[in-house]
Amino acid sequence: MQSSGVVLHTDKYQINMMYAHWVNGTHNRKVVFEAYFRKLPFGNGYAVSAGLERIIAYINNLRFEESDLEYLRQQEENYDPAFLEELRTLRFTGSLFSVKEGTLVFPNEPLIRVEGRVIEAQLVETALLNYMNYQTLIATKASRIKNVAGNDILMEFGTRRAQEADAALWGTRAAYLAGFDATSNMLAGKMFGIPTKGTHAHSWVQSFESEEEAFERFAEALPGQVTLLVDTYDTLKSGVPHAISVGKRLEEHGIKLSAVRLDSGDLAYLSSKTREMLDQAGMHDVKIVASNDLDEHTIMNLKVQGARVDSWGVGTQLITAADQPTLGGVYKLVAREGEDGTYQPTIKISANPEKVTTPGIKDMYRLIDPKTGKAIADYLCFPEEQQVIEGSPVHLVNPSHPYLNKQLEAYKAESLLIPVFVDGEQVYELPTLEQIRDYHKEQLKLFWPEYLRMLNPEHYRLYISEDLWETKAQLMKAYMKK
């Protein structure tokens, strides 16, 4: 999506609330929102933050063009023309804090904090959640797949099955930042500098009289990167023997067969047999690629069965996050400007204690054990609380079960929310995608394997400060009294 039109990538109720604030004269009132998710996807022990690059571009391009205003005029005759004139000059003048892309994040942690005029903060909710939710979801799925694939090469093959073009492109980027090595999507390659890879389809083989001829013609056309798809007719009786005979002939002309691809059948059995056949032919360097509706479960299972696969092509299951197609991130008001111009913390009550919001503007820290270098827990506190920065002991309170608390004496603290926009100005320069990928790898090293395992991982904790708990308790009490 290009700059023109992004401003209407929002829900109608946001524009209606903006209008109602304008009618009430409260549209310039300052508020603070936080975006977070409540439940980890796929039963994973962590999520991988992604979406910030697109959010930055969105904020920078946020302006109502004449066609947008004309559309609003047509849609709602109640909108006062003076309101639309106000929109014409609207820009994002607030501040936005975010965790960096590639950071490991956990439920109820603010991934983004928006501070600014309510008219702006409300407008951006929908798009921010849209970008954050999808990209974080796919980065998390990709990180799970990378977790089981180890050092094998992972190729993203999902574009044809993605929920349309934007999802294919940004999903591919999310997959790459979380550990995939390449993509088949050429536009994603061009836009983001992701390495591209490709084999050939069954249609290539079908478009020739014989499989052998198809292999030969393909190899001659593209010497140096020849991967032959061997399952169009019969993998072991036809495909692999033909790939071997063509490979031998190519060798005489100095062309090397790189790999064969298996795309159906029992991938454990077929890959083992294929490996045997290639080795017997002395083609030890020829690699085996597997594809066919793979995900972290099938890849792990195939490895347990001894599959001899060097490289995995993963499409549908990754790009659609098929087993859990949404993250469910929310955007909640945590503070608003009072009459005296200072921020007052706000709370959203729920019958479910886990869903009661933690009020106020908060900083977030990752507390790290100085001896082991491993993360202990994450911690929210008010910015004015200085203990963490000074390194003096901190009291950790469980946000929904405050009787579960403890004192932490020795730690290192890393601040997780970094300023991205301050008073409308972008102050954060995005790292390159390669740097984000490296950062994600470093993030993984920060955690004990218990938190990273695919099945039944340990629950990594988020604590709040005592002051934060006091504020939350007071607001809950005040609400109960009412």
Interacting residues toward ligand NIO by CB under 6 A? 157, 184, 198-199, 261, 291, 313, 315
Q: Give the x/- contact pattern for ligand PRP in 281-320, rule: CB under 6 A.
A: ----------xxxx------------------xxxxx---
Residue number with the smallest Cβ distance to ligand PRP: 315
Task: Tell me the three-class secondary structure of the chain, residue by residue.
Answer: CCCCCHHHCCCHHHHHHHHHHHHHCCCCCEEEEEEECCCCHHHCCCEECCCHHHHHHHHHCCCCCHHHHHHHHHHCCCCCHHHHHHHHCCCCCCEEEECCCCCEECCCCCCEEEEEEHHHHHHCHHHHHHHHHHHHHHHHHHHHHHHHHCCCEEEECCHHHCCHHHHHHHHHHHHHHCCCCEECCHHHHHHHCCCECCCCCHHHHHCCCCHHHHHHHHHHHCCCCEEEECCCCCHHHHHHHHHHHHHHHHHHCCCCEEEEEECCCCHHHHHHHHHHHHHHCCCCCCEEEEECCCCHHHHHHHHHCCCCCCEEEECHHHHCCCCCCCCCCEEEEEEEECCCCCEEECCCCCCCHHHCCCCCCCEEEEEECCCCCCEEEEEEECCCCCHHHHCCCEEEECCCCCCCEEEECCCEEEECCEEEEECCEECCCCCCHHHHHHHHHHHHHCCCHHHHCCCCCCCCCEEECHHHHHHHHHHHHHHHHC
Least distance from ligand ATP to the Cβ atom of residue 48, Å: 24
Q: Which does 198 bind (CB under 5 to 8 A by kind): ligand ATP, ligand NIO, ligand PRP, none?
A: ligand NIO
Q: Which does 305 bind (CB under 5 to 8 A by kind): ligand PRP, ligand NIO, ligand ATP, none?
A: ligand ATP
Q: Which does 161 bind (CB under 5 to 8 A by kind): ligand NIO, ligand PRP, ligand ATP, none?
A: ligand PRP
Q: Toward ligand ATP, which CB reaches closer, 76 or 310? A: 310
- Taking a C-beta distance cutoff of 8 angstroms, is the pair 246, 214 a contact? no
Q: Toward ligand PRP, which CB reaches closer, 26 or 292? A: 292
Least distance from ligand PRP to the Cβ atom of residue 216, Å: 19
Q: Toward ligand PRP, which CB reaches closer, 276 or 293? A: 293
Q: What residues contact residue 328 under an 8 Å CB cut-off, 6+ apart? A: 37, 38, 39, 133
Q: Which does 350 bind (CB under 5 to 8 A by kind): ligand PRP, ligand NIO, ligand ATP, none?
A: none
- Taking a C-beta distance cutoff of 8 angstroms, is the pair 130, 139 a contact? no
Residues 175-234 that bind ligand PRP (CB under 6 A): 201-203
Q: Toward ligand NIO, which CB reaches closer, 102 or 313? A: 313
Least distance from ligand NIO to the Cβ atom of residue 313, Å: 5
Q: Toward ligand NIO, which CB reaches closer, 60 or 196? A: 196
Q: Toward ligand PRP, which CB reaches closer, 92 or 312? A: 312
CA angle 18, 22, 24 (to 5 degrees): 120
Q: Which does 184 bind (CB under 5 to 8 A by kind): ligand PRP, ligand ATP, ligand NIO, none?
A: ligand NIO
Least distance from ligand PRP to the Cβ atom of residue 382, Å: 47
Q: Toward ligand ATP, which CB reaches closer, 18 or 294? A: 294
Q: Toward ligand ATP, which CB reaches closer, 296 or 337? A: 296
Binding residues (CB under 6 A) for ligand ATP: these are 264-268, 292-294, 298, 301-302, 305
Least distance from ligand ATP to the Cβ atom of residue 183, Å: 19
Interface residue with ligand PRP among 29, 63, 161, 412 (CB under 6 A) is: 161
Asked whether position 336 contacts ligand PRP by CB under 6 A, the answer is no
Q: Which does 326 bind (CB under 5 to 8 A by kind): ligand PRP, ligand NIO, ligand ATP, none?
A: none
Q: Toward ligand PRP, which CB reaches closer, 265 or 402? A: 265
Residues 259-278 that bind ligand PRP (CB under 6 A): 263
Binding site for ligand PRP (CB under 6 A): 157, 160-161, 201-203, 263, 291-294, 313-317
